[in-house]
Amino acid sequence: MDKYIIKGGGRLEGVIPVQTAKNSVLPILAATVLTDEEVRVLNVPDITDVRNMVRILTCLGCRAVWEGRDIIIDSSSAEKCEIPRALAHELRSSVFLLGSVVSRFRKAKIAYPGGCDIGLRPVDLHLNGLKRLGVQITESNGYINCACQKLVGNEIMLDCPSVGATENIMLAAVKAEGETVIKNAAREPEIEDLQKFLNSLGARVKGAGTGTIVIEGVKTLSGGVYQPISDRIEAGTFLIAAAMCGGDIELTGTNAENLSSLLHKLRENGCKLRIKNDKIYLRSDRRPVSVKSVETQPYPGFPTDLQAQMTALCCVCAGNSIVTENLFETRFKYVPELRRMGADITVIDRSAFVRGVERLRGAVTVAHDLRGGAALVIAALAAEGDSEVLDICHIDRGYAGFEYKLSSLGAKIKRVSI
């Protein structure tokens, strides 16, 4: 088990290349089960969630090989349809494999998936969507069992625009008979990326990025080579870190349009931003001012995966802020850890009321989930004195070489084995 030791108080300056999006790579890897031909996914981040997804694919009988930063998946020898309990508990995104595995084998078995403890994330939307395509589902002893004679396209109305359910239904419907229409679909950029990937293999999907996705089933998919989009959450984390610590940074290989809600808030904070092609420049030369209100919403609203980092920033702003979490009910588990550092935060129901302080103090804190852990790291970078962040295995789920990238910006951070 590792921890971070951080000496705070320094500015962040330099250039950071943004990694490929975790939330694109995982469903794309799940989708490789749909074809018997080889697929190469380019520039994949070496993070725990990706490693676990590859282990699951291997357990299904797929051949997975890393070549540098690329992963080559050959699913032609896949023969198993059960996702092991231990791996499902490690990776929330294992649920994506329901759609692709039941499409491939007409049956699938998976334990209820795990991941970060940020509240209830029921899979009912996933299962109801699969039922509409003709899948019979039973649940017993902590497992979800799926079976069907064939998949048949249908109209599916989601009760809420769930990213995971939208992607799972897309994967199941790609090779179903006839046409599937997903209404109230999630609009996140990662949904569009999955559509582009599937279409590059010969699928017929349109409408991703809007509330209605139409899928015309095909019989087979081919192999291919694909570069997923950049990680808007990693990009946002570094931008917030520079705003919080003060600094002058440049992000390369990113898409500012996918971060518009965050960039709007950072301008409110008083940061100076410049965008050119795939680069975002941020300068922060003074104490940031409060943004008054932040509310997480489905895309294009403010992303829940940047809520913790934004709350950390609000802790050192001049003025008061209210941060409201509308998507997950227990995503403020990091707040007591920030209070250890001198933050003035009161949580009532789904809102955190933040009164900005001049400076946070170094402290020993514990990461309880991926994004909350990242928030504790950037808070420690902005604090006076030394800090430790424990249980950084959560951070490793989504950030590749986090400490190395921060060090390249001048941060004083090191990983230590306990």
Please check whether residues 213 and 132 belong to one and the same domain: yes
Co-location of 322 and 394 in the same domain: yes
| Count of beta carbons in the 10 Å neighbourhood of residue 145 | 16
- pLDDT, tens digit, 9 for 90 and up, residues 38-53: 999 999 999 999 999 9
* Same domain, yes or no: 173 and 212: yes
The one catalytic residue in 59, 62, 81, 116 is 116
The burial class, CB within 10 Å (0-12 / 13-18 / 19+), for 402 is buried
Give the pLDDT score at 229: 98
In the block, tokens 């676990």 appear at 52
Q: For residue 76, what are the domain limits?
A: 22-226
Determine the pLDDT at residue 119. 38
Q: What is the pLDDT of residue 93?
A: 64
Return the pLDDT at 113. Answer: 66
Tell me which residues of the chain have a pLDDT lower than 50: 115-121
Domain boundary among 226, 241, 256: 226
- Considering just the CA atoms, what is the radius of gyration of the chain in Å? 21
Instruction: Find all residues with CB under 8 Å of 321, minimum gap 6, and list them.
Output: 290, 291, 292, 293, 294, 314, 353, 354, 356
What's the confidence (pLDDT) of residue 115? 41
Which of 110, 84, 85, 106 shows the shortest CA–CA distance to 97?
110
- Tell me which of 179, 209, 226 is where a domain ends: 226
CA 135 to chain centre: 28
CB 342 within 8 A of CB 361: yes
Q: Are 196 and 233 in contact (CB under 8 A)?
A: no
d(CA 74, CA 228): 18
Q: Contact 309/347 with Cβ under 8 angstroms?
A: no
pTM for the full model?
0.95
Q: Are 56 and 94 in contact (CB under 8 A)?
A: yes
- On whether both 218 and 248 belong to a single domain, the answer is no
With beta carbons less than 8 A apart as the criterion, state whether 238 and 14 touch.
no
Cβ pair 332, 325 in contact under 8 A: yes
**Edge-to-edge order in the sheet of strand 2-7:** 364-366, 386-390, 2-7, 412-417
Q: Show the tokens assigned to 343.
A: 């933050």
Residues 6+ positions from 276 with CB-CB distance below 8 Å:
none
Please check whether residues 251 and 264 belong to one and the same domain: yes
Task: Give yes or no: residues 251 and 266 share one domain.
Answer: yes
Give yes or no: residues 26 and 15 share one domain.
no
188 with 94, same domain: the answer is: yes
Please indicate whether residue 81 is annotated as part of the active site: no
**Total domains in the fold of the chain:** 2
Domain limit, last residue, from 197, 226, 255: 226
- 316 plus 182 within the same structural domain: no
Instruction: For residue range 383-399, list pLDDT tens digits in order.
Output: 999 999 999 999 999 99
Q: Does residue 364 share a domain with residue 271? A: yes
357 CB-near residues (< 8 Å, 6+ apart): 315, 316, 342, 343, 344
Q: What are 400's two structure tokens? A: 């590749």
CATH number of the domain encompassing residue 320: 3.65.10.10
Shared domain check, 382 and 262:
yes
Same domain, 182 and 238: no
